[in-house]
Structure formats: C-alpha cells, structure tokens
Structure 1
Amino acid sequence: MIRNIFATAMLSGTALALAGCSTTQSGQDQTRPATMLGDASIPDVAPGTIDLSIMKDVTRTLSSDEFEGRAPGTVGEEKTVSLLIDRFAKAGLQPGNKGSWVQEVPLVEITGSDYAPLTVAGNGEAMRFEFADDWVGVTYRENERTVLDDSELVFVGYGINAPEKGWNDYAGVDMRGKTAVILVNDPDYEQQGMEGDFNGRAMTYYGRWTYKYEEAARQGAAGALIIHDTYPAAYGWNVVESSWSGPQSFAQTANGNMDETQVNGWIQKPVAERIMQAAGQDLSALSARAKQRGFRAVPLGLTASTSFDNAIRKFQSKNVIGILPGNERPDEYVMHTAHWDHLGRCTPDATGDDICNGAIDNATGTAALVALAEAHADAGPAERSLVFLAVTAEEQGLLGSEYYAANPVFPLSQTVGGVNMDAMFIAGPARDVTVVGGGKSELDAFLTKALLAEGRRATPEPTPEKGYYYRSDHFSFAKRGVPMLYVDGGEDLVTGGVEAGAAVAKAYTESAYHGPNDEYDPNWDWSGALNDLQLFYRLGRMMAMSEAWPNWVEGDEFKEARDVNCANGLGC
C-alpha cells in the first residue's frame, strides 16, 4: 500500500522550531512546535554517499517478470529473499536475527474460487450481484468451503464501537449470524477542519477497513460488507477488485481464524444504493444519520447469500533483517523498514499481462533499504545500531511488520525510532517533502533539522481523511509506542510545480497502482528519489548518533505505549 495521492499530515517548515512546547496529536494544530527536544539533542550529520546504481539495479531486478510480482509464499519470494540476503551481506551488514538473515513469519494462504453471485432477497425483491464487477469477498477462516446462507443484512453506519468517544454503532443490535453493511472511513471525514469526534478530516484507525472487519467479528457477525466510495476510500474499485482477487495471506492462528467473520468483502456504491432502495431506505439519508452521535443500526429486512471454495496452504514467509552494530550503544536500535512483497499474479490487463510487478510499490523502497545499508556501512558504525528490516505481506494487511513488532528481534523498549519507505516518488526533484503522520512525535525535530540541511521544506497535508499513517508498516511499530517517520516525495516539483507533481501522482494511481502497469521504466528521472534517499540517510544517522529518546507528543494515541516501553527499558 502506498500514499498514492499526496496525503500527509504535514509540518510547517519554519514553525517546527527545534525547541518549544508540545503539540496536539495528528489532525490538530500542526503549526505549533511538536517537540521538547533541543537542537543540542540532534547532531549534525554529513551527507551520505548514495549509490544510485544500486537503487536502479535492485528496483529493476525485483520488478522483473522473473520475480512474478513477489507474492509471499511463491518462487518470487524465494528469489527476493535470496537477493536481499546477498545484497545486505555485500553492503557490509551482519545477519540480524541471532546469526540468521531471516525471521520466519507463519502465514496461511487462502485462494477463493467458484464464486456464486451475491444474492440479496426480501420485500419481494431478488437481486443478483456478480463477483468482481459488483462485489468482492474473502474468508479469513481456514474452511475449504464458505457458505453465507440467508444472512440478515444490517446497516451499521461506520461500524465503530469506541467507548472512549461515547460512540457505538452496534448498540442495541445482536449481530450473531447477520451481515454488517458498513460505510468506509470515519463519520466526520468530510469536515474541513481537524476538530470532531474522530479528528475531523484526519482519519483515525476506526476509519480503516481492517478495523471495521475486526469489530464486526467481535460483534459476532457472519459477514461484513464495506460500501466502496472512491473519495473516502482513497482509491477506485479497480484497486479493490485487484487487491481482493486471487490468493490472500493471513496470519496463522491456533484456531484457524474461526473467530473471524465467514465473509469479509466490499460492494460497489451503486450496489449498496440498490440494496437500500429494496429495503425502503435511501443510502444518502442513512449515511447522513450515521454521521450523528447516537446513530442506531438499521435492520434492512433483506438477506444475503453467497458461497465459494477455498484452497488452503500454510507456509513460512520471511522477513529479512540486517544490522550494522553501533560502536558505543549497540543495544539501542534505529529501524529502517520497507516491504519487499507485492500482489504476485493479478487481474490481467487488456494485453493479458497478469503480473503485478510492483516496481514503485515497493521495489523502490526495498532498493532504498539496500542503498542506505551500503551508505551507512561506508560511513562506518554509528553510536547506536542501525537495523534494516525488509518485511513480508504488507499488501495482505501489514502481516510481516505486525509479526516482527509482536515478536521483536530487538526489544521495542530499546528501539529509538525509525523511518519507513513505502514507494519512492520517481518524478524528478521537488522543493518539498510530504510526511504521513506529521505533528505526532518528537521525531519531527529530526526531520526539521534534516530538511534545513537539505534546503527543502515540508508541505501541509491536503487529504488527512485518507488515513495513510495507518496503512503501511510503520503503524505496526507506532501502535506499540515506537515513533516512526513515514516520509514521501514532495509535490512541488522543481520542473512544473505542484500541478506537475499532482499529475504524476494521479497518473500513477489511475493507471499503475496495484496493477500490471507498475513496471520499471529505464527512462525514469531518479534525481528526486536520490534527494529523498539522502534525507532518509540523514534521519537514520541523526537518530543513531543522538542520545535522545524521542517520544510521542502529549495527547497522542501512541504515547502511553511508549511510556510503558520506556519504563521497562533503558529509561528513554
């Protein structure tokens, strides 16, 4: 998953003074200083020696047809892991997992087939919706056949149960055996400002599809169907259809995921409108009601049915871990993360090409790990240890990073912070950068100093409602208290300005993202990506040469977890 259209929670380049009071959490006033760290806490760092040929070579190789789209558990994974181990070793890293280059991640792959239509009946209506065109769905359960039979449909608004906010869309309804019909995003995503029950425009985790399925399962629902709407979802139906077709990987559990719903899926918005009309309801009116505190779920008087077969395969996927040990405080760690996986074989395009190569997403970020590893090794050990973690199964729900964070090789209480790289922006040099989740942690001070050294600036977030901070591998660390930066290429291009940057992002989103067209182009202009890589180098080196332990700002959702980690660790 990438931040496919410039969407960031940004910092004001001049307002983020390196000393000052703390700010509120992401989505609120981002013009106030976000850190208590002083300039003396952050060392000056010389530029690194970045080898662009490494970026090009690794990106080109990983995104070649030979790697078959790098799906976990395939020959593409074997080749990817082998390449990364070889490159990390040549870069001068040491194996990061007690003498091993890998951490095994137990996954189960479930491939649905023979999908029956989704049929909706009741009130004298009998509607039939075709798989892929009208709806998509999978099961997380390890069952060879899935059957949803006459499950009562209940519109549950945004599907949120947030006791701390006094909000419960499931209040008063027993969902056992029923199917939840759910709106995407948060109730206040359309607000212009950042104030509201759910941070106004800035999406919270409650707006993510992952949360909505989790909560439906906790409520005992048999099924959960999210209504796709391009603007609040932040991507078109083509992305949903491509991502939710074919093999799907999930974390292995002791009970075979039997506590999940039978079916998790999406329906097109026109499909939802037809269903609501058949129920004597209006989707627009229901959606407006769902935005209001005190909303109560609406039984629709209709039932849903479908069925499909499942081929089940258990396997061990792999995270790849390399480390450059520190020379003064080797038991303190700075993380660099990127996901090596993509979708593998996917829905064919008009030419019959069915390999989702994932050149931008995320062969570029994986190549950045390799290039940074070599640059840091060339510069010599830092005071703290530098860790380079290439994780699996991000596209399946952050599974590799989640497994690492739940089973850390290096204790989270001794992990200072880090940077995540999920797709480099290949569009030439930019005057700025965009940062997903700015204003949340004291790492902003490191970013500000690095940007000043680079002569660049940060840009305010245009679309915080899309919630990108919850959609890549840094989130697995952040929710456990480890501050992580997620920095993307800027939108104000040196050639063409903001308009040119937006056009490049739009073209990629519409024609290549999660599709067969995300392929390596030998004509790419890498100069902007090289600038971004230099920024990542400075950020990692600054953290590794500092004695500071950055925390989240007061009031941030992740600060409590950091405080607990620090109490149990090195006194950060």
Structure 2
Amino acid sequence: MLRFPRTTAAFAVLLTVAACGGADKAATAVALPDVQFPDLSLQTLQDVTRELSSDAYEGRAPGTVGEEKTIAYLIKQYEAAGLKPGNNGKWTQDVPLVEITTKNATPLTFSGGKAPVTLQYAKDYVAFSYRVQPKTEIKDSDVVFVGYGINAPEKGWNDYAGLDVKGKTVIILVNDPDWQTKEAKGEFNGRAMTYYGRWTYKYEEAARQGAAAALIVHDTEPAAYGWNVVESSNTGANYLAESKDGGAKETAANGWIQLGKAKELFASAGQDFDALRAAAAKKGFKPVALTGVKATFGFDNAIARKMSHNVIGVLPGAKRPDEYVLYTGHWDHLGRCTPVNGDGICNGAVDNASGIAGLVTLAQAYKKAGAPDRSIVFLAVTAEESGLLGSKYYAENPIFPLGQTVGGVNMDSLNPNGPAKDIVVVGRGKSQLDAYLEKVAKAANVAIVDEPTPEKGFYYRSDHFSFAKLGVPFFNFGAGEDLVAGGKEAGKKAAEDYEKNRYHAPADEYAAIKNWDGMLADLKLYYAAGRMLASTTAWPNWNEGDEFRAARDKSRPAK
C-alpha cells in the first residue's frame, strides 16, 4: 500500500494534455475544462471512517459478520449519496473465496546439519497453504537455497537452473537481486522493485518449479516491513480465490522465516549465509543444496468457503455513459489479529476505512456538481489484504468492459499527517496519465518528486495493479514527505511512526487520526484527476515499451 502523506489545494484550471485514443500512437492535445471544486464534507469523511473502523465491525475481515455490516453500511451510504446500483440493478458483485486458517502448527525443524535448528511458529516462522486440504505435512524434505527465486528468461536469469527442486523446500531471499542499488536502473530496475521481487511472485515460481515448500527469509529493509507485519498478516485467516483444482498446482506450504534463524540454519549446513546472499545477487548464480539438511513441519488447515462481495455504485455520464472512470478502494482489513496490550482487533482506520470514506465523500461531491461526460464508478473491493483478490476478480470479470474503461484512481489509505508541499507518483513514466498529473500539480502549486522508496514495490501492492495487468491505466499517487507543517523531517518521522506502530496493527484506530486536513487534500487531488479524465474524449495509454502497453492495445485496438 502507498504510505505517503498527501496534499493539494482547491483550484480551477484549463488543462491541455497529450493522450492516445485506443492504440492510436498519434498524440493529440485535449483541452480539459475548468474543474470547480465543491466543498468536500469533512463530516462525511470522519463519520464513515469512525463507523467502519469501530470494534463493531471486528476489523472488516471478508466472510465475517464484519463484512455483512460493512456491505450493508456501504450500500446505505451509496444510496444516500445518489449513486445507482452498479451491477445490473444490484449493489454488489459476488467474489467466491476460500478461507484457510493455519491451526496447530508444529515447530519447523531442520535436521541433518551440524546441529538441529528449531523455529517456533509465529515467533520464528509462519506458514500457510494455498491447497484446499485439511492437513499440510512437510517431512524430511531436502532443502535448497535458490537465491532470489527468479526465473526470468528475457533477462537470461534463472535461480533454479540445473537443479530439480520437485518435492523440496526452497529458501528464498526477498526483493530483487539489485535492491541495494541507489539508482532505479539495472538488471531488475535497481532500487525500484519489480514484480520478481514480490513475495507473491516467489511463491508462484516455486510452485511452477514443483517445490513442496517455499520459505522467504525476512529482512526488514528489503521486505519494507518488520516481522510484526509478517506475523499479523499470516497467522490468521488467509483468503484464496476459488479454483477448480483446489490449489493442487500450488506448493504444499508457503511461509517466512526470521533472518537470524536462516543464518543459524546455513551455519549448521556448513554454509556462509552472507556469502551466498552476495553470490545470489550476481547473474549466473546456481541454486545451492544444503546437503544432508531436511525440513519437517506441519499444520492443520481450517477451511471455509465464503462468498465475499465487491460493492459497486455508478453515476451515469451525461454525454458518454458507456465510457467509464473508476475510483477504487478496498473495504477489508485483517479482522481479529495478534493482540497488542489486550487489543486483538485490527480496525484499519487509515488502512483503509479512510479510503472508503473517501469514496463516499467523492460520490457526494460528484453528485452535487453534476455528472461529467463519462460515467464514474465507485468500486469498493474485498480481500485486498489477502492478495488483491477482489480487484483481481472484478478485473477478470468486469461489470463494465475494460475496453470501455478509460482509467481510474486508486485510494489506499488517506493521509493523517497534514498537507505537504509535494506529491509522489508511483509508476511515474509508465503511462500518459503523467501529463494529467503534471498539470494538476502545477495548478495546485505542489512539486512532483521521485518515489523515495521504490525498493518497497508499492506499484505491485495495491488494487490498481489488478487493472494495470489487464491494460487499464490508473493514477497511483500521494503526497511526499515535505509537510507544510514541519517539512521533510516531520514527514519522514510521521511515515516511519505509522509504519512501525500502526500499519497492520491494532493501533490503527480512529482515535489515532489527529489531522484531517491532509485527507481532505488527498481527496481534492483525486477528484481533480478523475474529473479531468471523465471530461475528455481522450484514451490515455501506457507509454511505448511499457509492460502493460500490449494489454491495452489488445483491449482497445486501433479502429
């Protein structure tokens, strides 16, 4: 999720941008009309955030009573805002999920080395299964270090080369091989994380290679979060999209292990972890078997099939109602989680009750200002915290065709720290939406700065990614750390404090939000970006050579 404080100011301006229609490569100047800002309702923003993050919603986990309350409340708010049901007369889209909760986990033991190494569940390791089966057991599984676990033929890179890992347990490093590079360039974009660096990819590739278990070594800096986030996110229920084979193609077990325990394991196997980690960062690395070492662990899987829901409201366009601009945000959070000081509910006030409150607040503003030329879709998705499942399901089963979807604005956590002087664009340089945002930033008198932490892979960590993969360009931006009150030092301190003390923790509560000006500022920027997109005839595309360009050209071929 995007973790920058954000900003803007109210403004009205005539804009001109370069944009593409379908796969047409000729850029045309499109004049955007003045964007008159109505007053955004602070009361609505606060009321919806307070309600959704209250203990009564139990952390808004999919498939729970918390979901039922969330869906009912959102429908009521959408109706009051004047939206129409977005799914052929219905407010919701069914999203079939399988809930799997790890139970009765044994210690993870590595035997056969100089001395046995034992890891305790939650404290030293976490594990879960994507297979829909009642029990998972890994017994005396050979252990292999596969570096960063990447197989990228287009780069001539294969960390699995020359060794069959079928039925084995693979140990994997987090992030990309060149994550320590200061600049965002190199084999894997240097400091800027690619999808190869995401934990989701590493499990996917391990499954393709036939591994029995995939264990990622947790290291706070390249992971971009502490062990507390790994623990809280993986010791409760995990949600999967329903599949025909029940996850049979997945690894039997996936998980994380603490860095210190990984070093202990490698030393027991007669290997130098730091030396192998350095070797894995270089092209030509070959996997290394930890000779004689066997992994053994197991756990039960509590399985429940649940129907979750996306909530969809629409404001039909005044001139071209069959062209759509999306506003997205995820309504779910972690539900009941690891207690801290006796509090076992992860309320998710900032993440992402604030974003859903933003959807309702913007819906009111759009209705009051009158519909733009194109239709505006307000899409509250489920199961983002479980791997972007709700947005993935919608993107693959769209209510409004993706070929008729111009683009969108994703809102994943509004800023509780106050206005800033700059904005950060995640994925800057990827699409023609940059031209819109440059004009917006100029009019708002805020600077656009490079993403300060591209190594954290924010582009692949929120719901816009589900649409980007299928070709739909999305705005993904937020304010930088240069706060109006306190400057960069204050902004950095506030961001670090949130990530350390409240992100994915019970402390992310309504009472912890002390400043609402930054949230309102966020919404003014998001309103402007979406309104401009909905008021033109342009079809912004991905830039030539971008990984998502082909998908967009396929969905909107040249006419």
For the superposition of Structure 1 and Structure 2, which TM-score range results when normalised by the shorter chain?
over 0.9
How far apart, CA to CA, are the structure 2 residues paired with 1:481 and 1:206?
Answer: 19
Equivalent residue letter for 2:3: N
Q: In 2, are the aligned partners of 1:48 and 1:538 still within 8 Å (CA)?
A: no
Residue 274 of structure 1: aligned partner = 264
TM-fit CA distance, 1:454: 2.0
Q: In 1, are the aligned partners of 2:4 and 2:478 still within 8 Å (CA)?
A: no
TM-fit CA distance, 1:480: 0.7
CA deviation vs aligned residue, 1:464-513 (integer Å, no higher than 9, x gap):
11110000000000011100111223311111001111111111111111
TM-score normalised by the chain length of structure 1: 0.93
How far apart, CA to CA, are the structure 2 residues paired with 1:270 and 1:36?
Answer: 55
Equivalent residue letter for 2:323: E
TM-fit CA distance, 1:284: 1.1
* Further displaced range: 275-284 or 233-242: 275-284
- Identity among equivalent pairs (%): 58
1:399 corresponds to 2:389: yes
TM-fit CA distance, 1:36: 7.6
Given candidates 43, 46, 58, the residue that maps to 2:36 is 46
1:82 corresponds to 2:72: yes
TM-fit CA distance, 1:45: 1.6
Secondary structure at the aligned position of 2:424 is classed as: strand
Residue 516 of structure 1: aligned partner = 506
Structure 1 residues 57, 37: closer, same or farther in 2, change over 3 A?
farther
Unaligned runs of 5+ in 2: 7-14
Residue 63 of structure 2: aligned partner = 73
How far apart, CA to CA, are the structure 2 residues paired with 1:477 and 1:190?
Answer: 29
Unaligned runs of 5+ in 1: 8-16, 23-34
Residue 299 of structure 2: aligned partner = 308
How far apart, CA to CA, are the structure 2 residues paired with 1:529 and 1:457?
Answer: 18
1:120 corresponds to 2:110: yes
How far apart, CA to CA, are the structure 2 residues paired with 1:348 and 1:402?
Answer: 30
TM-score normalised by the chain length of structure 2: 0.95
How far apart, CA to CA, are the structure 2 residues paired with 1:523 and 1:193?
Answer: 34
How far apart, CA to CA, are the structure 1 residues paired with 2:243 and 2:115?
Answer: 40
Secondary structure at the aligned position of 2:215 is classed as: strand
Secondary structure at the aligned position of 2:30 is classed as: helix
Question: Where does 1:274-423 land on structure 2 (aligned, <5 Å)?
Answer: 274-301=264-291, 302-350=293-341, 352-423=342-413
How far apart, CA to CA, are the structure 1 residues paired with 2:103 and 2:371?
Answer: 51
TM-fit CA distance, 1:431: 1.3
TM-fit CA distance, 1:384: 0.6
Equivalent residue letter for 1:4: R
How far apart, CA to CA, are the structure 2 residues paired with 1:247 and 1:21?
Answer: 43
Equivalent residue letter for 1:177: G
CA deviation vs aligned residue, 1:122-159 (integer Å, no higher than 9, x gap):
13422211001100010011111110111111100110
How far apart, CA to CA, are the structure 1 residues paired with 2:5 and 2:145?
Answer: 32
How far apart, CA to CA, are the structure 1 residues paired with 2:303 and 2:538?
Answer: 47
CA deviation vs aligned residue, 1:212-260 (integer Å, no higher than 9, x gap):
0000001111000000000000000000011011111111101111110
1:243 corresponds to 2:233: yes
Question: Where does 1:363-512 land on structure 2 (aligned, <5 Å)?
Answer: 363-512=353-502
Q: In 2, are the aligned partners of 1:162 and 1:168 still within 8 Å (CA)?
A: yes
How far apart, CA to CA, are the structure 1 residues paired with 2:419 and 2:5?
Answer: 15
Q: In 2, are the aligned partners of 1:5 and 1:506 still within 8 Å (CA)?
A: no
TM-fit CA distance, 1:287: 1.0
TM-fit CA distance, 1:21: 11
Structure 1 residues 142, 279: closer, same or farther in 2, change over 3 A?
same
Structure 1 residues 200, 246: closer, same or farther in 2, change over 3 A?
same
How far apart, CA to CA, are the structure 2 residues paired with 1:455 and 1:512?
Answer: 31
How far apart, CA to CA, are the structure 2 residues paired with 1:544 and 1:75?
Answer: 36
Q: In 2, are the aligned partners of 1:20 and 1:36 still within 8 Å (CA)?
A: no
Secondary structure at the aligned position of 2:94 is classed as: strand
How far apart, CA to CA, are the structure 2 residues paired with 1:446 and 1:48?
Answer: 20
How far apart, CA to CA, are the structure 1 residues paired with 2:273 and 2:27?
Answer: 49
How far apart, CA to CA, are the structure 2 residues paired with 1:6 and 1:174?
Answer: 46
Structure 1 residues 237, 481: closer, same or farther in 2, change over 3 A?
same
Q: In 2, are the aligned partners of 1:243 and 1:343 still within 8 Å (CA)?
A: yes
Structure 1 residues 404, 345: closer, same or farther in 2, change over 3 A?
same
1:4 corresponds to 2:3: yes
Secondary structure at the aligned position of 2:303 is classed as: strand
Given candidates 249, 263, 272, the residue that maps to 2:253 is 263
How far apart, CA to CA, are the structure 1 residues paired with 2:300 and 2:317?
Answer: 51
Residue 538 of structure 1: aligned partner = 528
Equivalent residue letter for 1:437: G
Residue 11 of structure 1: aligned partner = none
How far apart, CA to CA, are the structure 2 residues paired with 1:359 and 1:111?
Answer: 24
How far apart, CA to CA, are the structure 2 residues paired with 1:548 and 1:241?
Answer: 45
How far apart, CA to CA, are the structure 2 residues paired with 1:269 and 1:303?
Answer: 19
Residue 11 of structure 2: aligned partner = none
Given candidates 543, 546, 553, the residue that maps to 1:556 is 546
How far apart, CA to CA, are the structure 2 residues paired with 1:5 and 1:347?
Answer: 25
